[in-house]
Structure 1
Amino acid sequence: MPLITGTPTPPPPVLPSLRLGRHTVTAIPDGSVQLHPLRWLPESTADDWAGDNASLLDPHGFIEAPIGALLVEYEDSALLIDTGFGPHDIPAADTIDTIGALRGGALPHALRRTGRTLEDIDTVAFTHLHDDHVGWAFRSGPAGRFPFSRATFVASREEWADWTMPPEVSVPARTAGHGEEIFPGVTARLTPGHTRGHTSYVIDTGEHRLIAFGDVFHTPAQFARPDWPVSMDTLPEQAVRTRYELLPELTRPDTLAFGIHFGQGQLGRVVEEDGALRWGPHSEL
C-alpha cells in the first residue's frame, strides 16, 4: 500500500445559508475588495477605527469587504441577487484611491456547491449596476454561449436608464418598481443614494423577512453612524436619508438581512445592545 504524504486539502467552508419558510437563502462568494476606511468614509477618523471597529479591518488596515451574491431558492425556482465582480484580479496599485486590491472569480464554483449553475438561475435582480455587482452577468462564454441562458434580468427603471456600459449580449430585461414582486415572495424596495436607482430586495415569508440592502451599508460601522457620507455615493445626502429610513426596518424583530460587503458575516441581523446598534452575524443566530 503506497504511503500517503503531504497535508490533506481542507474542505471548503460551508456556505452561510438560512431557511425562511419555503425559501432558502445562501450567500455565494465571488471575491473581495479592500475599502480604505478614511477615504471611503471621509468624515470618519482614525479613532473611529480603533476599539470595536478595529475588528472590521484586515491586517493591512482596510475594511474587509467580500463581493458576491445572494441565492434565493423557492421550490424549483432560483433567484440571484447581484452577480459578483467576475474573473478579474486587480492589485491595489491599479485601482482607485478609495480601495485596495479587487478580485473575483469564485461565484460559478461556489454556486455549484449548492447544486445550482448559472444556467439554472431563473431571475437575476441587481441592487445596482456597478462592476462588483454585475461581473458575471453580461459575459458571453465560449462560442458566444451566454451563461445565464434562462434568466430574466431585473433592475430599477432609473438604474437601467443611468447605465453607461451596454451589455455584450442581448438579454431579457425588465424594470422593478417600488413594492413590485420580482420573484415569488420577493419584492423590490427603492433605496436610492449609492446610485439614483439603487434597489434593495425584501424576502417576506409572513413570519420572517430578509432585506438584501446592497450598498446602502458597506460596513457594520455605519449602523452607529448612518450620517457618515460615503465618497462613492452618487447622491450622498439622499444616501444618508435612505440609511436612516432603512434602520427601523432592519431592527424589527422579525427581520434578517444580507450585507453583501460585510466581512464578519453577510447573513445576520441588526441588534440593539446597550443602546447601540450592532451587526449580529449568521454564526450568532
Structure 2
Amino acid sequence: MADLTAEQGIRLRRPSAIRSLRLGDTKVSYLPDGEVRLRPLALLKDSTAEVWAAHPEYLDATGHLVGSVGGLLVEHGDRALLIDTGFGPRTLEAPEGPLGAIRGGALPESLAALGRTPADIEAVAFTHLHSDHLGWACHTAPGTQELLFAHADHLISEAEWAGRHLLVEQGMSAEVAALAPRVRTVADGQEVFPGVRVRITPGHTVGHAEYVITGGGRRLIAFGDAVHSPIQIDHPEWSSGFDHDQALTAGHRRRLVAELAEPDTIGFGVHFADVVFGRVQQDGTGPAWRPVDA
C-alpha cells in the first residue's frame, strides 16, 4: 500500500473546515459544529494495536482517533435543507468507552459563513437520533429563548421515531420533547427535497437513514454513522462500538463500500476528520478512501 502524502496525513488528524461540492444545480456543504476524539480500540473492537501502530496518520498526539462533528447543507436555488445538526453548544468528556471527548457549538457561525441563516432552512433531515446529530435541533439560538430550527420540519425515518423510547431510557426525554412538535416521519425511497431521497439502512440504530443526493450526473451518499472512520472503508467488517446491531451494519457497510466505488459516486462521512467528501478507489495503490474537494 502506498504511503500517504504529508498533506493527507495532516487532514486525517484534524476536524474538517467548511467544504463544498457542486452536483449540477445543487450545492452541498459540510457545516462544522466541532470535533470528537475517539478511543480507536474501543470504537473498532476488531482492530488491533498493531493496526493502529502501522497507521499513526489517523491518531492525534494522545492516541485518539480524530473526527468531525457537524451537518450537511444542501442548497438548490433559494431552498435549503440541513442533514443533521451537530452536537450543539456543549462539551462532554468520557472517562472510558469509545468516546474520549466531544465538543460542538460552531454550526450557526458555519451557516452564517455561507451566507445563510437558520430561517433559510426549510427542513432538517436526521440520519438518526444520537446526540451528536440532534445537537442544535434541541438548543436555543444564541441570545434567544427560541430553538434554532423551531420553524423547520424535522424529518426522521418512521422506524427511528418509533424507537424514540430508547432515547428516553438513555435520559434524553428533553430532546424527544423538543423534537416531537416538528417531526414528520419519512419512508424509504421518499424524495424529501429536490434531488434528495431517503434510504433506510438499519444497523447503527433501528431506523438509521442515509440520504442520496443526485445532480449534474453525479450522486452523493450521505451515509451518516454507517461508517465512522475512513479506515473502515478498507476494513468494512469492523463495526463500531456505537452500533446497535454490529452484524447488520457490517453487512450494509460492505455493500456501501462497493456502491461508493461505482462511477460518479461520492460519499459524505460526517465524522471523517478533514476528508468528509470522498470516493472509493480500490486499486491497491493506497487507502481506498480518496478525498474529493471539487
Tell me what 1:159 maps to: 160
**Matched ranges for 1:24-35 at <5 A:** 24-35=27-38
Residue 70 of structure 1: CA displacement? 0.4
Partner of 1:225: 235
SS at match of 1:167: helix
Q: 3-state DSSP class of the match of 1:136? A: helix
Whole-angstrom CA distance in 2 between matches of 1:229 and 1:267: 21
Cα distance change on mapping 1:21 and 1:143 into 2, 3 Å: closer
Partner in structure 1 of residue 151 of structure 2: 150
Compute the displacement of 1:123 (Å).
1.1
CA 1:171–1:42: 2 relative to 1, 3 Å: same
Q: How does 1:128-207 map to 2 (within 5 A)?
A: 128-141=128-141, 144-163=145-164, 164=167, 165=173, 166-168=176-178, 170-205=180-215, 207=217
Return the alpha-carbon distance in structure 2 between the equivalents of residues 76 and 185 of structure 1.
14
2:239 and 2:269 map into 1 onto residues whose CA distance is: 18
What residue in structure 1 maps to residue 62 of structure 2? 60
1:72-127: CA deviations, max 9, x gaps? Answer: 0001110111000000012344xx42111110001001110001122210110000
Q: Deviations over 1:126-149 (max 9, x none)?
A: 000100000100224566423214
Counterparts in 2 of 1:170 and 1:226: CA distance versus 1, 3 Å: closer
* Alpha-carbon spacing, 1:149–1:232, altered in 2? closer, same or farther (3 Å): closer
8 A contact 1:211–1:257 mirrored in 2? yes
The residue identity in structure 1 corresponding to 2:270 is: I
**Structure 2 residues not aligned, in runs of 5+:** 1-15, 168-172
Please name the residue that 2:49 is paired with. 46
Distance apart, 1:273 and its partner CA:
2.6
Query: How far apart are 1:14 and its partner, in Å?
Result: 6.4
TM-score w.r.t. structure 2 length? Answer: 0.86
Residue 261 (structure 2) pairs with residue 258 (structure 1): no
Summarize the Cα distance change of 1:143–1:221 in structure 2 as closer, same or farther, 3 Å threshold: closer
Distance 1:30 1:115 in 2: 16
State the match for 1:8 in structure 2. none
What SS does the aligned partner of 1:227 have? coil
SS in 2 for 1:133: helix
Determine the structure 1 residue equivalent to 2:7: none
Larger RCO (alpha carbons 8 Å, 6+ apart): 2
In the alignment, the residues of structure 2 paired with residue 276 and residue 265 of structure 1 have an alpha-carbon distance, to the nearest angstrom, of 15
Question: Residues 92 and 241 (structure 1 numbering): CA distance in 2 closer, same or farther, change over 3 Å?
Answer: same
- List aligned pairs for 1:204-219, cutoff 5 A: 204-205=214-215, 207-219=217-229
Please state how far the C-alpha of 1:169 moved relative to its aligned partner.
6.0
Cα distance, 1:54 vs. partner? 1.9
Residues 87 and 135 of structure 2 are in contact (CA less than 8 Å); yes or no, is this contact kept in structure 1? Answer: yes
Question: What do residues 146-185 of structure 1 show as CA deviations (whole Å, max 9, x unaligned)?
Answer: 3214311111111111123323365332122111101110
Q: Which structure has more helix as a fraction of its residues?
A: 2
Structure 2 residue 100 is the aligned partner of structure 1 residue 100: yes
Task: Give the distance between the partners of 1:244 and 1:275, measured in 2 at CA.
Answer: 20
User: Does the CA contact (< 8 Å) of 2:137 and 2:179 recur in 1?
Assistant: no
Cα deviation for residue 267 of structure 1 reads 1.3
- Structure possessing the higher radius of gyration over alpha carbons: 1
Aligned length in residues: 269
Matched AA of 1:109 = E
- Tell me if structure 2 keeps the 8 A contact 1:140–1:168: no
In 2, are the aligned partners of 1:15 and 1:28 still within 8 Å (CA)?
yes
Identity of aligned residues (%): 45
Distance 2:239 2:84 in 1: 24
* RMSD value, Cα: 1.8
Tell me whether 136-145 or 240-249 shows the greater mean CA deviation: 136-145
Q: Which runs of 4+ in 1 moved over 4 A?
A: none
Q: Which amino acid aligns with 1:123?
A: A
Q: Is the 8 A contact 1:152 1:171 kept in 2?
A: no
What is the CA distance between 1:206 and its match in structure 2? Answer: 5.6
Number of the residue aligned with 2:8: none
